[in-house]
Chain A
């Protein structure tokens, strides 16, 4: 009989998680309180910001380009808007009514900002646990021999799925109740003046949208609940019936997941910009999800090992996680580029606005993300030996995670706040709050069962795993 060491949640880590949550909560509160509540406040904020923000030489060009795009769409409160129109020259050719329209538009964007910051962080940490759940199901369905020693770490991370998902559904419901303007298609006023969105109301309507969200989260949570249950039951079982059940539900889950994940990405992210569409968006979000998930598994495994737990995990396991981090980073880049190149090449106005706003208004996060998510992991993790050195995995892992946070940021922010972005207290607060919540829930779950799934039929193979 092997000694089973139970993990206890160290007080230091617990306090850190709580501190992060409190700090994050304060940051978020400050962000929400600072958002303009009237048109006048918004105007004074913008004029205060414009002094330095728009004196750059590049922003003038953008003004002229986006004028063409936005003229036809202004009545729909499109997110792409004329950043120059607060300057004196806009009055000469566009008139006073446009200016009022624009001010109201900016007001909506600024009041959206804390909501969007909250949503980006909520989605990012939810995405990690969903990515890990998919990775875990792949290991189960493939009957992988190398990974069973990491099952408990993965199960710990997926514990965040339900609470994280509920928070997202609450945010979506609040949008549905018009407490924020994240999803402009939820606004009947907008739909009435927009033929394109009006044509989509059969799909994009609040009740159906919420129904889908609840259905997806229930499906994923049910799989997580039963796979965890069978996994724990297998620890003390005499036969491998639990393992077989887990194999079956994992295979079924993967089919369910790839369809629902894709629809989820259209609903929760792509519909923020309801005029724009991309057919491989689901895959793109999936790639982000799974690379962040694998990276988190690696980071938590290395952390636990450094504290003297997971003595059965050797550097070959870390090496394999490193390979997955490398491989999925390249996969993410492949999908990112496939989406970008087709849209750039065909240059169709309603598609290309997506990248124009991002390259012109979000230049640094847009290209910075490519360096962090592709070039950095490519060069750092290419060498076989580096993948066995914890220091390199941790360094690459932190950059990958931050890079994918910026990826989610780039997906959501431009559609929600236009060019009125900056990393403020709401963004940092949102990130810290969900980081704290994530650490708290994940490490709490890790204490609930032995860290070795000792009953798994492949556990011996996994312990002996040697590259």
Chain B
């Protein structure tokens, strides 16, 4: 099977958004959209699945909270009991107000860092990775829509031009 795709270039995010809506209503399969900045509402227009990153952030936060609790309990209560604020009760719960800032910070730390790492992994981004971006203009001020071709070049090209694309080109992707 030939691996032909069509690239349509846009120079305005509003035009891009309406073009995406037209393309999807005409039942064309959009492979990917490259934009220089996050376009508001594009994820919904493309019908992308909702991100599950928020759920992971919550779980990571809970892990951070647990680790902070276990860590402080070991350090301050079990291993080397400390007299906190003149209250040497040797009980984690009774001294908890002193530990709350650490519990909070560790929750935020775990949620933030693990969330970023998860995001990079899900987006298949890692150090020294070669950019997949097909057109460097999309890192500046242009927007690119990539659509799979099924022997309908003419029809699609017309539709794309009509939707406001400033440039349409057909690309043969190496297998």
Contact = CB atoms under 8 A, between A and B. Distances in A.
Interface of A: 337, 340-341, 344-347, 382-384, 466
Nearest to A334: B104
B85 A346 contact: yes
> Most chain-B CB neighbours within 10 Å: which of A345, A346, A384?
A345
Contacts of A341: 97-98, 100-101
20 contacts: A337-B97, A337-B100, A340-B97, A341-B97, A341-B98, A341-B100, A341-B101, A344-B85, A344-B97, A345-B85, A345-B97, A345-B98, A346-B85, A347-B85, A347-B86, A347-B87, A382-B58, A383-B54, A384-B54, A466-B41
A237 to B, nearest CB: 31
A344 B99 CA distance: 12
Contacts of B54: 383-384
B86 to A, nearest CB: 6
A337 B41 CA distance: 38
A168 B98 CA distance: 38
The 3 A-B pairs at the shortest CB distance, nearest first, are namely A345-B85, A341-B97, A344-B97
Given A341-B101, A345-B98, 12 more contacts: A337-B100, A340-B97, A341-B97, A341-B98, A341-B100, A344-B85, A344-B97, A345-B85, A346-B85, A347-B85, A347-B86, A466-B41
B52 to A, nearest CB: 12
Contacts of A345: 85, 97-98
A382 B97 CA distance: 24
A347 B85 CA distance: 7
Nearest to A342: B97
Contacts of B58: 382
Interface of B: 41, 54, 58, 85-87, 97-98, 100-101
A466 B101 CA distance: 36
Contacts of A344: 85, 97
Contacts of A384: 54
A293 to B, nearest CB: 26
Contacts of A340: 97
Nearest to A384: B54
A384 B98 CA distance: 32
Contacts of B98: 341, 345
Contacts of B97: 337, 340-341, 344-345
Contacts of A466: 41
Nearest to A345: B85
A280 B100 CA distance: 19
Nearest to A337: B100
Contacts of B100: 337, 341
A42 B54 CA distance: 57
A263 to B, nearest CB: 29
A340 B58 CA distance: 27
Contacts of B86: 347
Contacts of A346: 85
A382 B41 CA distance: 21
Nearest to B54: A384
Nearest to B85: A345
A351 to B, nearest CB: 13
A344 B95 CA distance: 10
B98 to A, nearest CB: 7
Contacts of A383: 54
A73 B86 CA distance: 24
A344 B87 CA distance: 10
Nearest to A340: B97
A384 B58 CA distance: 12
A346 B87 CA distance: 10
A346 B101 CA distance: 16
B50 to A, nearest CB: 9
Contacts of A347: 85-87
Nearest to B98: A345
Nearest to A383: B54
Nearest to B84: A345
Nearest to B61: A382
Contacts of B87: 347
A346 B100 CA distance: 16
B170 to A, nearest CB: 35
A383 B101 CA distance: 24
A337 B96 CA distance: 12
A153 B54 CA distance: 33
A466 to B, nearest CB: 8
A9 to B, nearest CB: 39
A347 B86 CA distance: 8
A340 B100 CA distance: 12
